[in-house]
Amino acid sequence: MGFDADTGRLDIAPDAPAYGTQLCCSAPKLIAAAHEKVRGANGRALHVLAPHA
């Protein structure tokens, strides 16, 4: 849904609650992968919002 470069927070709204749970569990891996793919990425946190229909 959005990325705040100042705080390094990525907001995500999954399609279903189960996807949100998966995202929460794999947040550290996702952030590390983003840092590998995008040099200078400032991502520090993943915030999973309520499911988006």
Total structural domains within the chain: 1
Residue 42: the pLDDT is 80
DSSP the chain: -EEETTTTEEEE--SSHHHHHHHHHTHHHHHHHHHHHSTT----EEEE-S---
Domain extent at residue 34: 2-48
Residue 53: the pLDDT is 61
In a domain, 13, yes or no: yes
1 forms beta bridges with: none
In a domain, 40, yes or no: yes
Mind listing the pLDDT tens digit of every residue in the chain (53 residues)?
888 888 888 898 999 999 999 988 998 998 888 888 877 778 888 889 988 76
- Answer positive or negative: Cα dihedral of 10, 15, 16, 19: negative
pTM greater than 0.85? no
Residue 18: the pLDDT is 92
In a domain, 53, yes or no: no
